[in-house]
Every structure is written in C-alpha cells, then in structure tokens.
A = this chain, B = another copy of it.
Amino acid sequence: MQRKLMHVGPSFTSYRVQMAGIGENIGFASPEFLEAMKYSLEGLLRVAGADDAYLPFILPGSGTVAMETVSSILPKGTRTLLLTNGVFGDRWIPIMSSHGLDLDVLSAEPGKAVTVDDMEKKLETGKYQNLIMTHVETSTGVRMDLEKIVPVARRYVERIIVDGVASLGAEKEDVKKLGITAVISASQKALGAPPGAALMVVSRSALDSINEFSYFFNLKNWIAPMERYLEGKNGYLSTEPVGVILSLSKVFSDIEAMGLDARIEEHRRLTMALNEGIEAAGLRVLADRQLWSNTVTAVLSDHADDIVKRSMELGVEFATGVHPKLIGKYFRVGHMGYINDFDALTALSVIERTASYCGERVKIGEGVRRAQEVLFEMTDRN
C-alpha cells in the first residue's frame, strides 16, 4: 500500500525533489551547491513577488527559526501589533517577549480572521510602528486577505511582517506591490521541499537597524553571506543544509516550469473541490467560506482524532487539530506541495469512509461526486 502524506507539516513532495537532494558528497564549496543556493535565493525572491529592493535569506532551521530571526528587524523601543488567528500566530508572543519586544495582540476565534476594521481601530491609536500577521494559519486553515489588509495597515505602520510558511508558493504574496517589509517561510510547507531550511525575504531598507539580540538570529551576520551566494560565491557563516537546498532548488525550477500562477490555480481548484466535497458529504469546514486557504482545510468532527487514526490505516496521513479551544473536535487536511486534482478525491474518499466508520452521518459517494464536478467545472475544457 502506498502511503499518502496530506499532513500540514512536511508536505507531499516528489521523487525528483527528494532525489535532487542526494549527491556524490557535494560539499558547501562545490559548484553544484553554489548554483543551487543562488538559484534558490533568486527563486525565493521571485515567488514572493520581490525584486532587488529585497534581500532573500536561507538559513538552516525551520519556520520558527525564520520567525525569531526576522524579529531582529524590529528596533528596540518600537511597538508591534500582532494579528493572530490561531496557534501559529500566537507563537510570535513568546518569541517577542523573550527579546523584550513590545507587543499587543488582536485574536480571532477559531475559523475566523481578525477583520480590517478591528485592526484599523487599533492602529489608529498611533501606538504601533510594526504589524505582524500570518497569511495562512496552519492550525485552522484560515487565510487573511493580504490585498485588503496590507494597504490599510501601510497607512499606519513602518514595518509589516507576514508569516508565509503555509502560503508561499500556493498563494499570492506580492510583497513588493503591497509594500510588505518581510515575508518568512520554510522549505517543507507550501513550497513542498523537505524540512530543514528557514526562508526570509526582507526589504533592504529594514536591514539598516538590526536588533542584535543573538549571534545566529542576527540578520546582520547573514547579509554578506547571502550577497555572496547571490553572486555564485561561497558565503559560509554556518553550515547550510546542503541536501535540502538542492531539493529546494528543484522546487523553484519546477515552479518556474509550471508558472507560479498555474501552481496557485491548481491549489485553488483542489481546495474548492475538497471543501465543497466535504460539505456535500455532510461534514463541515471550520473556516468561513471566504477564508478558505489553498493549503490547509480544517474539518469539524467529534470523532476527529479517531478519523485521523483510521485514515492512517488506509494509507493517508492527516493532522489532528491543535487549536486549544477545539482539541479533538476537528482534524486538518494539508494540500501543499506536490499535490494534484486527484488528491481531493483521495482525501474525500478516506474521509467519507473513516468518518462513517466512526459514527458520523455521511452520504457515501456524495463528497467525491461533488468534488469531481468542481474539478470539471474549474478545469479548462479545450
């Protein structure tokens, strides 16, 4: 039986991406690595919608490493407003506080997003120089609408940090156009490479006044290495995860070949098929319809943990719910990375079956039927 990963952590990746990471003992000074690093840094800029007014960073680490590192662009003495829709938004709180950075928090209920109005009321007080938000909240599958929020926020704050861990490569970020200061991500989520690299795209103007609260997290230490890597030269500071970056480079080349817009559209199609299918089968998606993200779908069920367990036995790995207000009441379907239309059907097939076994009233076959209709309607028919 083939295993299928539809988790929200390491996402579904491809043979070729994984194999690209294996080499005949390629060191960090080898031409292969230097080429892959340069290409990945450039690809990162491109996928974020940035240009050379921004500097890309790739560090050994994870999304959390990217969060803590990018915090170093927030000057001591400035105040930050955090918009959080769940667990991963909340993670900024201990990070900021561990470095004595001032932070206020606006939270939404699970399945909801902080509204533009609520944010603007806070920002109007004039207390904030910085804003942090999560594009797609992995714990609930909620997506914020950057096109609406960022332009409003720009009127009030100097620095906007967007957590794109669960969105970069599957949703539009457009940092340059929108005027976002920094976006962060990680190799293993929406991009679909193996885990091991922390990614950041930061406006060069924000690099002038780094808050040096650490050695490794000090972005100033990483500027020269990244500039060198962008020139195709060795930029050693701390050993990069060579294999992960060779894989990441393959991801960026796949995105280039497919086109970023087509990749985003494919994720959208799968999302609509999956989520409409879930509702057709008689279950409920946690997020409000207009907040559905392209990468994570949270499904409500009192049998959630049991459904995840039984799905694993059928060969599909989902994720349990982690929002403290809804533990055991929902599970999550990841649809990031190297996914395709048919994964919507696979997910629905296993959800219908396991939910039914667990006692949910499910219309067997109605979910997959509806998903197939959506796929058909959304696909170019020529």
Contacts and interface: CB of A to CB of B under 8 A. Distances in A.
Interface stretch (A10-18, A123-131, A176-184): A10-18
A223 to B, nearest CB: 15
Nearest to A97: B215
Contacts of A316: 342
Given A10-B242, A22-B22, A218-B98, A373 B365 contact: yes
A151 interface: no
A23 B194 CA distance: 10
Contact of A314 (B18, B341, B345): B341
- Copies of this chain present in the complex amount to 4
A215 B60 contact: no
Contact of A364 (B243, B340, B373): B373
Given A98-B218, A216-B65, A9 B239 contact: yes
B342 A346 contact: yes
Given A60-B65, A369-B368, A212 B24 contact: no
Contacts of A28: 7, 9-10, 195
Using C-beta atoms within 8 Å of the partner chain, give the interface range for chain A: 35 or more
A10 B27 contact: yes
A164 interface: no
Interface in A26-72: 26-30, 60-65, 68
Contact of A214 (B2, B217, B357): B217
A372 B376 contact: no
A356 B364 CA distance: 24
A347 to B, nearest CB: 9
Contacts of A317: 25, 27, 29-30
16 contacts: A7-B28, A9-B29, A9-B236, A12-B25, A15-B15, A18-B23, A29-B317, A60-B195, A64-B215, A65-B238, A194-B242, A195-B240, A342-B350, A345-B345, A346-B346, A364-B372
Interface of A: 1-5, 7, 9-16, 18-19, 21-30, 60-65, 68, 91, 94-95, 98-99, 186, 188, 194-196, 212-218, 236-244, 258, 266, 314-317, 319, 338-342, 345-346, 349-350, 352-353, 356-357, 364-373, 375-376, 379, 381-382
